[in-house]
Structure 1
Amino acid sequence: MRASDIYRIREFDRFYTRILKLADKYHLNTHLTLLEARVLIEVNRGVGQTAELTQLLQLDKGYLSRILKKLEDTGLVVRQKDERDRRFKMLRLTAAGERALATIDNRADEQVIRLFGNLSDDELQRLLAAMARIQADVGAATGVTDPGHSD
């Protein structure tokens, strides 16, 4: 790979991060970081064991433990014994966690509308096709192909 190619990829990464405000301390003007919000999303999708979250999010166990402690202390997540295997505890969202996630979802939808709502249908379809191509190419290059865990 040429140095100019590396530069262009990194430039796109910086642009995308800036546009979506991914480097902001709190995600979508909530009291949660982007990673804390992502943990809520994954728990809501049914990823209930810490080992699964560690692998999926590629996090250090200690770091994930600190995130989960904060989410538990703020009443967004609880740990309960797994009914199928009592040796394990499963994570689930509380009612407050569900409300926080609904806020995140609504604000993410609003962000998409703000960013792309002025595009014509043709422009939007071209953008969506380009996004699908990027996702497919990056997925093929990295082995990450699970569209259910792409946001």
Structure 2
Amino acid sequence: MDINEKRTTNRDDSQMVPQPVKDKTGLVQVDTTWGKIQPIKIADGVRTVDEIELNYSLEKGMQVIDGRTPDFYKVSTIPGAKNIPYNEVVDRMNELNRDEPAIFFCNGPQCPQSPSAIRNLLEAGYPPNKILYYRGGMHDWVTLGLPVEKGK
């Protein structure tokens, strides 16, 4: 049986990014019903990274790409991330610096947006060793209490 068939049924009003609980500093509400669980490994040659490596990369000024649609990005993103939506990434490949890896993320382990962006880039001939995948996305980033900012 597919693991996604074991999950709680999707809610009609899903909440893809964990939200703060009013008057409860450090407490967030998580919706476990949306999306489909994505694999840890997206493709051969594409390495998956964690929050520690992502933080290090941000501190070094490396490119971090928020692959979500602009409506999500404008509400909140990881500080320092650039928005290139998954459905525009091939047309905007020239915005990526091919001299260094780019880290792609989306809403979390059950979100298909950055995996789609990565697969689309690979199909367009982008080198897999220049793509990194932060599977945890906004979901894990927020639930670990890490900072977010409104997208520019």
- TM-score, structure 1 as length reference: 0.22
- Give the structure, 1 or 2, with the largest relative contact order (CA under 8 Å, sep 6 or more): 2
Higher helix share goes to which structure? 1
- TM-score, structure 2 as length reference: 0.22
Specify the structure having the higher radius of gyration (Cα).
1
